[in-house]
C-alpha cells in the first residue's frame, strides 16, 4: 500500500497533535455499533466462516438487532447494570452478540477461554462474583461440576442446546414469541458513564493465581488508536485476528479496534489444535494479508516459496543460517554472538536475496549481539524483532523491537499479556 493510503503519514506529527476528549457518558453498543447501523444499514460488520467452509455474514444492523434481543433476554433473567457475566464461547457470532448485550445494559462482561477447567472457572466466578455464565453445550459440564460451590452464580445460559436448569438461547429467541429487537426500557436502567466498569480480563497467572483487570467504558475509545494507527484500518477494510475469544487480544484485535473504525472483521471458527496450513486458503479467499518469517537455509525453501506463493502472504527473514548454537554461552546461546559484523551482514544479505525483501527480520532465539544494529542497517532491513515481550514506544530502536512468538499451546495466552 502506498504511503498516501495509510492513516498515519508522519508519526511525530500525529504524536504532537493527537488529542482525544472522553465524554462523561459513553456506550460502545449504542454510540458506535447502533450509530453505524443507522448510518448504513448494509455495512458489513462480520464475515464468519468455520472449518467446514460454512459462512455467515452480519451487518452492523444485524449486530444492533441481535444484541438488543440478547439484552432483553438478560433483562428477563435479572441481569442489570453492574452485574458481572462470564462469556465462555469459541469464535462464534454469539460471543460478539452477548458482549454487546452486556455493554448496552451496563453489565460487566468477562471473556474466558474454553480451555479453562472447572477449577479455573470456580476461581474466576468466585473472585469476580459472577452472576451469570454464558457458554455452549460442549463446555456446560464444566459449569455443572462447580456451580453449587459458587454462591454468586444465579443463572446459566447455553447458546446451542436445551439443558435442565439452563436458559436456552435458541428457545428464548422463539418461544412463546420471537424476542423483540427493540431494547426494552425498564425502571432503574441507567446510562453508562465512561468511568463505569465495562469488562474484566483475567491475567495469565504466570505468578500465582490469575489477577482481575477491570477496564471502563472509555476502553473502546482508547482503541481508536489501535484501529486507526496500529491496524491502519478504514471503513471498507476487512481485518483478521486469529486470537481466541477468551483473551484480551481478541477484544481489541477483532472487536473494539476494527469496529471503532467501522471496518469488517473476519472470524475463522477454528476448533482443536492450530494448523497453520488451514489459514492460507482463508487468507486468499477473503484477500487478507499475512507475514511469515522463514529460515532461508532450509532444504525445502524453494518449494515453500513456490508452493505458498500468494499475493496475501509475505515471507520475511528469520536469517539464512543462524538457527543453531554458538560457543559464547551468551543470551540463549545462539551463533549470532560468534559472528563479526561482516559475517552477519553476509547472512542477512543472503536471506534477503532469496526472499526478495528487506521488510523485517526476526532474530533466531531472540539473541541480539553488539554488531546486530549496524548489520541490520547496512543490509537495509526496515525493522527487526527480538523475543522480548514489551510495548513499542516513540523512539524505540527499530533494530530490536519486541514481538510475540505464536507457537505451542500457550501462544494465545501470551497474546493477552504481550500485544497492545
CATH assignment of the domain containing 242:
3.40.50.12780
In a domain, 12, yes or no: no
Is there a single domain that holds both residue 197 and residue 82?
yes
Largest CA distance in the chain: 76
Residue 168: pLDDT over 90: yes
What mean pLDDT comes out for the span 352-361?
Answer: 89
Is there a single domain that holds both residue 235 and residue 321?
no
Is there a single domain that holds both residue 324 and residue 216?
no
Separation CA 308–CA 290 (nearest Å): 12
What is the extent of the structural domain holding 394?
A: 291-418
In a domain, 252, yes or no: yes
Out of 72-81, 365-374, 391-400, the most confident range is 72-81
What mean pLDDT comes out for the span 150-156?
Answer: 97
In a domain, 87, yes or no: yes
In a domain, 284, yes or no: no
Per-residue model confidence as pLDDT tens digits over 50-67? 998 899 999 999 999 999
User: Binning pLDDT at 50, 70 and 90, where does residue 413 land?
Assistant: very low
- Cell 477461554, residue located: 113
Is there a single domain that holds both residue 246 and residue 385?
no
What mean pLDDT comes out for the span 152-179?
Answer: 90
Query: 309 vs 2, 312, 381, CA distance in Å?
Result: 22, 8, 21
Residue 1: pLDDT over 50: no
Domain boundary among the residues 208, 234, 269 is at 269
Query: 213 vs 109, 248, 348, 417, CA distance in Å?
Result: 12, 10, 42, 11
Q: Which three cell numbers stand for residue 258?
A: 476494527
Per-residue model confidence as pLDDT tens digits over 82-106? 999 999 999 999 999 999 999 999 9
Range in 117-121, 217-221, 302-306, 385-389 the model is least confident about: 385-389
Is there a single domain that holds both residue 238 and residue 296?
no
Residue 392: pLDDT over 70: no
Q: Which three cell numbers stand for residue 12?
A: 511525530
Per-residue model confidence as pLDDT tens digits over 213-255? 999 999 999 999 888 888 888 888 899 888 889 988 888 889 9
**pLDDT for the residue 316:** 84
**Cα Rg of the chain, angstroms:** 24
Q: Residues 277, 278, 279, 283: what is their CA dihedral angle, to the nearest 10 degrees?
A: 110
Give me the half-sphere count of Cα atoms (radius 13 Å) on the Cβ side of residue 218.
11
Is there a single domain that holds both residue 168 and residue 205?
yes
Q: Which three cell numbers stand for residue 291?
A: 507475514
Is there a single domain that holds both residue 265 and residue 299?
no
- Under 8 Å CB-to-CB from 2, ≥6 apart: which residues? none
Is there a single domain that holds both residue 189 and residue 302?
no
The order of strands in the sheet holding 55-59 is 55-59, 44-50, 264-269, 238-240
**pLDDT for the residue 358:** 87
Residue 404: pLDDT over 60: no
- The alpha carbon of residue 238 and the mean position of all alpha carbons in its chain are separated, in whole angstroms, by 14
In a domain, 11, yes or no: no
- Which residues are 168's β-sheet partners? 158
Give me the half-sphere count of Cα atoms (radius 13 Å) on the Cβ side of residue 407.
5
Is there a single domain that holds both residue 101 and residue 174?
yes
Percent of the chain scoring above 70 in pLDDT: 89
In a domain, 282, yes or no: no
CB–CB of 301/351 below 8 Å? no
Give the dihedral sign, CA 92/94/95/100. Answer: positive
User: Binning pLDDT at 50, 70 and 90, where does residue 407 land?
Assistant: very low
**pLDDT for the residue 299:** 83
Of residues 405 and 207, the one with the higher pLDDT is 207
**pLDDT for the residue 205:** 62
Q: What pTM does this model have?
A: 0.75
- 377: phi > 0 → left, psi -120 to 50 → alpha, else beta; which? alpha
Question: What is the number of structural domains in the chain?
Answer: 2
Amino acid at each position: 500500500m502506498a504511503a498516501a493510503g495509510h492513516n498515519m503519514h508522519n508519526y511525530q506529527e500525529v504524536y504532537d497533535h493527537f488529542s482525544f476528549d472522553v465524554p462523561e457518558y459513553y456506550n460502545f453498543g449504542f454510540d458506535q455499533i447502533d450509530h453505524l447501523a443507522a448510518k448504513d444499514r448494509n455495512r458489513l460488520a462480520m464475515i464468519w466462516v468455520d472449518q467446514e467452509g460454512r459462512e455467515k455474514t452480519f451487518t452492523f444492523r444485524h449486530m444492533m438487532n441481535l444484541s438488543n434481543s440478547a439484552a432483553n433476554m438478560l433483562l428477563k433473567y435479572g441481569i442489570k447494570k453492574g452485574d458481572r457475566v462470564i462469556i465462555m464461547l469459541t469464535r462464534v457470532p454469539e460471543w460478539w452478540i452477548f458482549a454487546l448485550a452486556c455493554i448496552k445494559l451496563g453489565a460487566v462482561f468477562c471473556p474466558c477461554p474454553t480451555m479453562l477447567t472447572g477449577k479455573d472457572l470456580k476461581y474466576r466466578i468466585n473472585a469476580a462474583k459472577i452472576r451469570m455464565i454464558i457458554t455452549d453445550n460442549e463446555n456446560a459440564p464444566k459449569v455443572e461440576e462447580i456451580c453449587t460451590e459458587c454462591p454468586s452464580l444465579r443463572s446459566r445460559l447455553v447458546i446451542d442446546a436445551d439443558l435442565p436448569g439452563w436458559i436456552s438461547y435458541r428457545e428464548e429467541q422463539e418461544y412463546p414469541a420471537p424476542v423483540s429487537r427493540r431494547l426494552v426500557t425498564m425502571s432503574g436502567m441507567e446510562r453508562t458513564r465512561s468511568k463505569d466498569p465495562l469488562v474484566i480480563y483475567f491475567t495469565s497467572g504466570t505468578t500465582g493465581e490469575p489477577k482481575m483487570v477491570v477496564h471502563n467504558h472509555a476502553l473502546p475509545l482508547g482503541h481508536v488508536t489501535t484501529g486507526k494507527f496500529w491496524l491502519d484500518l478504514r471503513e471498507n477494510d476487512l481485518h483478521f485476528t486469529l486470537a481466541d475469544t477468551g483473551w484480551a487480544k481478541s477484544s481489541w484485535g477483532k472487536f473494539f479496534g476494527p469496529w471503532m473504525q467501522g471496518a469488517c472483521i473476519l472470524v475463522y471458527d477454528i476448533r482443536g489444535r492450530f494448523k497453520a496450513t488451514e489459514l492460507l486458503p482463508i487468507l486468499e479467499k477473503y484477500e487478507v494479508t499475512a507475514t511469515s518469517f522463514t529460515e532461508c537455509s532450509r532444504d525445502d525453501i524453494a518449494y515453500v516459496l513456490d508452493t505458498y506463493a500468494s499475493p496475501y502472504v509475505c515471507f520475511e527473514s528469520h536469517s539464512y543460517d543462524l538457527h543453531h548454537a554458538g560457543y559464547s554461552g551468551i543470551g540463549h546461546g545462539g551463533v549470532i554472538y560468534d559472528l563479526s559484523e561482516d559475517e552477519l551482514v553476509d547472512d542477512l544479505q543472503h536471506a534477503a536475496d532469496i526472499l526478495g525483501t528487506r521488510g523485517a527480520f526476526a532474530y533466531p532465539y531472540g539473541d541480539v549481539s553488539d554488531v546486530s544494529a549496524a548489520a541490520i542497517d547496512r543490509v537495509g532491513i526496515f525493522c527487526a524483532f527480538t523475543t522480548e515481550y514489551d510495548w513499542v514506544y516513540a523512539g524505540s530502536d527499530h533494530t530490536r523491537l519486541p514481538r510475540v512468538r505464536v507457537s505451542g499451546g500457550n501462544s494465545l495466552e501470551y497474546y493477552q499479556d504481550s500485544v497492545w
